Structure 1
């Protein structure tokens, strides 16, 4: 397993982070074994959120950590302040209320990584940073970050933090995958584009990618003619992405690995600290992801895979 550092944490974070959005206590026997296997491979970080499975994801993680007695060994990322039916909720009240509930569900008194699940560009960054710093000072949160924020808003928030002697964001979790999104998968979601990646490279700012494998686009289960998954068609079907698929398939054959492993290696070999949130359902899928961490790609290969050279020439 490969690792990277996130400012604020006292331990390195594994480059594969286990996604838990479908976890429920009634699945504990099954997902608990999968988590044990993940830990045995060197993984140490779990991704959850206040809204995942109606809160049952956090409950399941809490039960698993309690049963294994391994809280201090695990890096827990959870997210809050997601919008609801009434609209955006990026405010101190939502953060305070949801973090308290998340801690109770997780059966812990702190989370290693806490991220705002969505942004509300109409809200000034100052009060948000101040609210999150209260939780850092109280020991309830080790490091703060964001999911689905633009790099411009992150920079604005960190400039405010620096100017006011506060702790800023130290990680971001947008979508980043070899297949480039045509449009947001869900309202308010952000996919890292070339400008975002350039900013992450300049700042060496950690990026934790959700849908790192483009929700199965590279599994071989889909073709331009297979259009029964409306969301996948809407978000990832394009001539450019099918060319990226073809190139990943070609390089995979040359390396003796699968197409989807090349796609995952693309995320893990970025020229800045990167992490892939993965959602294996069984041991074989987990081991496939782990094997992908051993694949090294050069910057030239990265640019060839994602068509960077061709797009810059246009």
Structure 2
């Protein structure tokens, strides 16, 4: 059993790796998804992240990921052992970004149906439509929480300004407050989170679950040249990191992974876990060997020299 942490201001305890469900229905079919989920939970991990629109790039509307997770939970009878996070508000071919009350009330019921459950543990504002009044969004969350459909709410891709206003309005109106933040954060993407969001994380006591923790696979060390990008359907996402800074970070990861007899990806995740307020990096895997790389991250104790080397390389 791996160590678990409690999400701030909740009674939810989660393992230190958050499995990203965007691969279900995309690079993993239903059977392979079941196998990966079985292996993930067999190791003692319990936290699964998805969205109502994953993977929208396959069919234009998503839904496949939630459906596969729902079928898996139903067949395994393990819903009570899991912490399930999903999201609302993302854009599809059918509609734009939308966090209106009407959309939230409709979407939560659709997600519950696909997930074959009566409650969502952590429900994210996935993207901000920038036009719905914050009070309207929080009022919708208040309604679904009181109905027992959602336990807690969290935020992803909100501007710092709208995030802070959400707390101010929630306090003033007695509405639910976000308990967690899901930002873009990794060794190659530090500035936006550390400058703009970390002060708010500290101010409001949020638990942080970074996405793109391995920078589209770049921090695994798999992509070291343009010719490497064709190794995976996700390879093009790593192109922008093929520069001096990226290579400097890979060199540091290589050196530290040799020292700890592990993989660069494991070290990159261990670095995230060593940062303040980080609960569990969101990361996906499509094979048992990739899962082993993730499982090792919470077990690696980076020393101050390791952390200093990575800090210097990634600044």
Could you tell me the TM-score, scaled by structure 2's length?
A: 0.87
Stretch moving more, 72-81 or 217-226: 217-226
In structure 2, the gaps of 5 or more residues are: 56-61, 230-234
1 CA distance for matches of 2:53 and 2:46?
Answer: 22
Please state if 1:278 is matched with 2:283: yes
Please state if 1:57 is matched with 2:62: no
Does the residue aligned with 2:282 lie in a helix, a strand or coil? strand
Residue 302 of structure 1 is aligned with which of 301, 307, 310?
307
Partner of 1:44: 46
CA RMSD in angstroms, aligned pairs only: 2.5
Q: Residues 221 and 250 of structure 2 are in contact (CA less than 8 Å); yes or no, is this contact kept in structure 1?
A: no
Does the residue aligned with 2:124 lie in a helix, a strand or coil? strand
Partner of 2:88: 80
Does the residue aligned with 2:123 lie in a helix, a strand or coil? strand
Could you tell me the TM-score, scaled by structure 1's length?
A: 0.87
Post-superposition offset of 1:115: 0.5
Does the residue aligned with 2:252 lie in a helix, a strand or coil? helix
1 CA distance for matches of 2:171 and 2:309?
Answer: 38
Does the residue aligned with 2:280 lie in a helix, a strand or coil? strand
Residue 30 of structure 1 is aligned with which of 29, 32, 54?
32
Does the residue aligned with 1:218 lie in a helix, a strand or coil? helix
Please state if 1:107 is matched with 2:153: no
Post-superposition offset of 1:9: 4.2
In structure 1, the gaps of 5 or more residues are: 183-190
Post-superposition offset of 1:251: 1.8
Residue 132 of structure 2 is aligned with which of 110, 113, 123?
123
Partner of 1:186: none
Provide the aligned length of Structure 1 versus Structure 2: 301
Q: Which aligned pairs between 1:163-182 and structure 2 lie closer than 5 A?
A: 163-180=172-189
Q: Residues 227 and 233 of structure 1 are in contact (CA less than 8 Å); yes or no, is this contact kept in structure 2?
A: no
Post-superposition offset of 1:170: 0.5
2 CA distance for matches of 1:119 and 1:306?
Answer: 31
Q: Residues 223 and 238 of structure 2 are in contact (CA less than 8 Å); yes or no, is this contact kept in structure 1?
A: no
* Residues 261-300 of structure 1 deviation map (CA, whole Å, 9 limit, x = unaligned): 1111111111113211121111111111111111123566
Q: Residues 187 and 249 of structure 2 are in contact (CA less than 8 Å); yes or no, is this contact kept in structure 1?
A: yes
Q: Residues 110 and 139 of structure 1 are in contact (CA less than 8 Å); yes or no, is this contact kept in structure 2?
A: yes
When residues 31 and 17 of structure 1 are mapped into structure 2, their CA distance, relative to the original with a 3 A threshold, is same
Partner of 2:224: 223
Partner of 2:273: 268
